[in-house]
Amino acid sequence: MIQLRDVSKTFTAGSERVDVLKDINVSIEEGEFVGIIGPSGSGKTTLLQVMGLLENVSQGEVLIAGEETSAMSTSERKGIRNKHISYVFQQYQLLPALTAIENVMLPVLQFKKNKSIEERAERLLDQVGLSHRKKSLPAKLSGGEQQRVAIARALMNNPDIILADEMTGNLDEETSGTIMKLFKEIHEQENKTIVMVTHNTDLIHHTNSAYRLREGSLVEIPQVEYDVFKTKE
């Protein structure tokens, strides 16, 4: 579903060069739930933006659902992104002036608002356990509730791929557990491909496989080590 071939990413600011990603090769299959861990500044957000076609690579190829995207125009890439990919962020990124249900409908509002869209948004809010708060503004919701609205919004376009960037980074342990459980349900019931990046190794046991990003290289965590994470479950 997502394939990176010899991907490198370098940022240059003036005379300074930062090689954030170095020769990354990874193949994430349809329906996989993959975790990527790495300390702050290791390039996790950059890697996720490369996978989500929000950031160009300096070198290499990025394939989404079999299509090579690195030579595409910005609008072609946008088309692929809209068709396949949704994001969930640490900061939720809800629009403060819109109610919960309006935020969920946001991905399709630019096209058309109609009854079936509203019904779908209601169903998704129900799925994340928030149908009773559909008319609330984000400021009236707790962090965990706001993230659940953001997850419902991410599902609105029925993406194949969900990319989650430190999704529980602002939440306490218990709420974080609830959100991870919800994500696992979505993964199991709807066969979404999910890539979750985090600096928190405690979350990794929820995933099917995991990688570590260190000094620009992505290395799969060996099964024995991964089993240690799993025993925490």
List the interface residues with Mg ion, window 39-98 (CB under 5 A): 44-45
Please give, one letter per residue, the 3-state secondary structure of the chain: CEEEEEEEEEEEECCEEEEEEEEEEEEECCCCEEEEECCCCCCHHHHHHHHCCCCCCCEEEEEECCEECCCCCHHHHHHHHHHHEEEEECCCCCCCCCCHHHHHHHHHHCCCCCHHHHHHHHHHHHHCCCHHHCCCCHHHCCHHHHHHHHHHHHHCCCCCEEEEECCCCCCCHHHHHHHHHHHHHHHHHHCCEEEEEECCHHHHHHCCEEEEEECCEEEECCHHHHHHHHCCC
Q: Of 107 and 216, which has the nearer Cβ to ligand ADP?
A: 216
Q: Which residue stretch of 11-19, 77-85, 98-106, 188-196 sits at the interface with ligand ADP (rule: CB under 6 A)?
A: 11-19
Q: Considering the complex, what minimum distance in angstroms separates the CB of residue 38 from ligand ADP?
A: 5
Q: Of 18 and 97, which has the nearer Cβ to ligand ADP?
A: 18
Q: Considering the complex, what minimum distance in angstroms separates the CB of residue 202 from ligand ADP?
A: 17
Q: Of 58 and 131, which has the nearer Cβ to ligand ADP?
A: 58
45 near ligand ADP, rule: CB under 6 A: yes
Residues that bind ligand ADP (CB under 6 A): 11, 13, 18, 20, 38, 40-46
Residues that bind Mg ion (CB under 5 A): 44-45
